[in-house]
Amino acid sequence: MTVTPRRRTRRTALAGAVCALAVSATGLTGCGSDDPDAGTNGVGRLKPEQIQSRTRAAAGSAEAVHLSGTVVTSGRTYTLDMRLKSEGGSGSVTSQGMAFRLLRIGEQLYLKADAGFWDQADGGGDTGAADKLDGKFVKVPQGDPAYRKFSGFTDKDVLLEGLLTLHGELATDGHHEQAGVRTVRITGDKGSGGTLDVSLEGKPYPLRLARAGGAGTLSFSDWGKDFAVRKPAPDETVDYGQQLPAS
């Protein structure tokens, strides 16, 4: 059957109308195109400075987040698996072969570890004290160096503010995928200043960060997904006093 120019025009017009209706109904961009930003939230079309601004704003407005990966600070590598929100956070930290848990509720920070951790922290001088602290949530005094050192790992706003900044001249580095989600990648100084993958689906949340100078790599998930932060029961808690054993 021969398709006349008039029929072809009608078909094109009909396809365009269907596409327009679909875009209007879903709020997505693009239709039937090879455009990598078709059907996305559109941030892939923005300048890298705008993408960074949008993703920082999205992260700041989210009620909660789950982050995991490594952070290198002061020459030490910490492996984190944390769930964070404004009122507090909880999760595990591993460094130099020693693992412990952190829990923060408001301003109160707790640290939970086994006897081996506390024995090492105390230099092996008081195994009795280490046994008493074994498996307990130990209250960390706010004036203790450990409080200043570890509370930042449980503070969503402070942690993200420090992490989600790339250094140097920003540029986009193509479209990628993280955990099945399409992303656009931005870099600082061609990657030496860090790289950040930003979601192209839904809100432009950051999904993966490689920090500048090889200072760790983090993945972000469960944006906006709330979780409970429970104060430990009295029999699970130990108040060590004014200062913990030096770590």
Task: Give the DSSP per-residue string, 155-173.
Answer: -HHHHHHHHS---SSEEEE
Residue 167: beta bridge partners? none
pTM of the model: 0.80
Torsion of CA 156, 162, 163, 165, to 10 degrees: 130
Domain boundaries, the chain: 1-33, 43-61+161-221, 77-159+228-238
Question: What six digits make up the tokens of 203?
Answer: 């809100």
Residue 108, pLDDT above cutoff 60: yes
Taking all residues of the chain, what is their mean pLDDT, rounded to a whole number?
Answer: 85
Better-scored residue on pLDDT, 27 or 229: 229
Angle (CA) 100-197-66 rounded to 5° is 30
Q: Which of 172, 160, 179, 213 is nearest to 196 (CA)?
A: 172
Select from 153, 83, 74, 69 the least CA-distant residue to 111.
153
pLDDT of 196 > 90? The answer is: yes
Say whether pLDDT at 13 is over 50: no
* pLDDT bucket at 29, cuts 50 / 70 / 90: very low
Q: What integer pLDDT is reported at residue 149 of this predicted model?
A: 84
Lookup: tokens for 77? 């590598």
